Chain A
């Protein structure tokens, strides 16, 4: 689905952000990128989304250039990036509106998305009336409204409290069971990475490169109970140990 070969990235004449990156991700994998700050994990997402150009090497999405494949991708940012002058419904509709989908179909998709993320009760609320977790759910609904094949998530739950984050993690997996997207997820939280992913890429910094490519052996569907399993705990400590190898400061 996504093929990256000897990829290099630097911004202008600045330091090298990513060096000689090779990665192949197949359909419906849930890949988490984790590593110390400055390892280029957010940059990698931007490259896949073609929000920033590749310096050298190749990067293809579904056999196409990232630019051409953009239609099949959606990006979820660190903040919810909702338009404050639009209601929940009108925010979710935005991508469909840009593609000139007719209003009837738009409303129908939007209602389905609202139900999917559990926001059926607040269709006409404005973003300022919502909590951080609800805003993020609107953002997810908006991203999913075009049924993307690839979802790029840049630390979407980083600013939320742990309880909200855990609940949204569970919801995200439930949604994925229905929508079947391939996911690239950036986070700083090892527990979150293990809970969500089928595969964890640990990156090292200066310059950014792949340190370890790890598979998470836990079967889907996963639920809150998964977090209590011994297997889960073992995975978390494995990933933490690998992170410590590259960054002695990591707990």
Chain B
């Protein structure tokens, strides 16, 4: 079905272009974009790799610090109440404001892009995982108390596995926005060290050179990278949950 929908969209696209006789500057035809993508494939591939590595590093950092942060937040209500507003503020401050500051601190390039991605990936992971860690059933906690469990045993054997589906939900959200983080990072903090920059940087370059089909091609490359992220997370989700979690259930038929 998605394939059929895709074909319909492509046909509509071409029909609109024909009907209104739109210039390539306004709306290039899919074929022109494909041509541009093939022509620029080396550049696009290398800039996709650059953006992807920034996004992936930021994403992994978000996951690692997200787990650590949520464990601290789950440790006590006091921590949670005192820290949460600041994490929220961090999330609500637009990246356009953070980015120049980060460039001042870290200089343009991979480190700044990574940190920008990290900043937007961190919140969904920390918020979801914390929820998972603290929403353990009272009786389960009593069960562990009856077994004279240590605090570490309670966290490792009860709270962390219980929080796993919540963490993966956070990871899924983070995965879908990691590429946005990468591109935003490129736009604000990208540079062209070694000839090409990240996809966001190339978008700026193509725009300046009025290479509009190439600009679209860069956009689609970013989409593809985004899909890659989401499918990795979905795969991980299935791998970790399919045996026991109700969200992944075999058909009753």
Name the segment of A66-74, A103-111, A179-187, A238-246 touching the other chain: A66-74
Taken together as a complex, chains A and B put the C-alpha atoms of A218 and B31 apart, in Å, by: 89
Taken together as a complex, chains A and B put the C-alpha atoms of A127 and B244 apart, in Å, by: 8
Q: Are A75 and B146 in contact (CB under 8 A)?
A: yes
- B146 touches which one: A74, A84, A126 (CB < 8 A)? A74
List CB contacts (< 8 Å) of A138-193 with chain B: none
At the interface, yes or no: A37 with Cβ under 8 Å from chain B? no
Q: Known contacts A84-B245, A85-B161; decide if A49 and B146 are in contact (CB<8 Å).
A: yes
List CB contacts (< 8 Å) of A226-250 with chain B: none
Q: Known contacts A71-B148, A84-B244, A128-B244; decide if A51 and B161 are in contact (CB<8 Å).
A: no
Q: Known contacts A94-B157, A98-B153, A126-B243; decide if A81 and B147 are in contact (CB<8 Å).
A: no
Q: Are B161 and A73 in contact (CB under 8 A)?
A: no
List CB contacts (< 8 Å) of B220-253 with chain A: 243-246, 249
Contact with A along B128-155 (1 / 0, CB 8 A): 0000000001011011011111000100
At the interface, yes or no: B49 with Cβ under 8 Å from chain A? no
Q: Known contacts A70-B148, A71-B148, A98-B153; decide if A51 and B142 are in contact (CB<8 Å).
A: yes
- B143 touches which one: A73, A77, A97 (CB < 8 A)? A77
Chain B facing A: main interface SS = helix
Q: Are A98 and B148 in contact (CB under 8 A)?
A: yes
At the interface, yes or no: B164 with Cβ under 8 Å from chain A? yes
- Residues of chain B lying within 8 A (CB to CB) of residue A83: 140, 157-158, 161
Q: Known contacts A49-B146, A70-B146, A94-B157; decide if A128 and B246 are in contact (CB<8 Å).
A: yes
- Residues of chain A lying within 8 A (CB to CB) of residue B143: 75, 77, 81
- A98 touches which one: B149, B244, B246 (CB < 8 A)? B149
Q: Are A73 and B148 in contact (CB under 8 A)?
A: no
- Residues of chain B lying within 8 A (CB to CB) of residue A77: 139, 142-143
- B147 touches which one: A78, A79, A95, A128 (CB < 8 A)? A95
Q: Known contacts A94-B157, A98-B153, A126-B243; decide if A81 and B139 are in contact (CB<8 Å).
A: yes
- Residues of chain A lying within 8 A (CB to CB) of residue B147: 94-95, 98
Q: Are B158 and A79 in contact (CB under 8 A)?
A: no
List CB contacts (< 8 Å) of B138-194 with chain A: 139-140, 142-143, 145-149, 153, 157-158, 161, 164
**B146: nearest chain-A partner, CB-CB:** A75
- B164 touches which one: A75, A79, A81, A85 (CB < 8 A)? A85
List CB contacts (< 8 Å) of A25-83 with chain B: 49, 51, 70-71, 73-75, 77-79, 81, 83
- Residues of chain A lying within 8 A (CB to CB) of residue B137: 79, 81
- Residues of chain A lying within 8 A (CB to CB) of residue B246: 128
Q: Known contacts A83-B158, A83-B161, A98-B153; decide if A73 and B146 are in contact (CB<8 Å).
A: yes
**A148: nearest chain-B partner, CB-CB:** B146
Taken together as a complex, chains A and B put the C-alpha atoms of A75 and B142 apart, in Å, by: 9
B215 to chain A, nearest CB (A): 47
Taken together as a complex, chains A and B put the C-alpha atoms of A78 and B146 apart, in Å, by: 15
- Residues of chain A lying within 8 A (CB to CB) of residue B149: 98
- Residues of chain B lying within 8 A (CB to CB) of residue A70: 146, 148
Taken together as a complex, chains A and B put the C-alpha atoms of A84 and B243 apart, in Å, by: 10
Taken together as a complex, chains A and B put the C-alpha atoms of A129 and B143 apart, in Å, by: 22
- Residues of chain A lying within 8 A (CB to CB) of residue B157: 83, 94, 97-98
Instruction: Given A70-B146, A98-B157, output 12 extra A-B contacts at Cβ < 8 Å.
Output: A49-B146, A51-B142, A73-B146, A83-B140, A84-B245, A85-B243, A86-B244, A94-B157, A126-B243, A128-B244, A128-B246, A128-B249
Residues of chain B touching chain A, judged by Cβ–Cβ distance below 8 Å, are 137, 139-140, 142-143, 145-149, 153, 157-158, 161, 164, 243-246, 249
Between A and B, 5 residue pairs with Cβ closer than 8 Å are: A85-B243, A95-B147, A98-B153, A126-B243, A128-B244
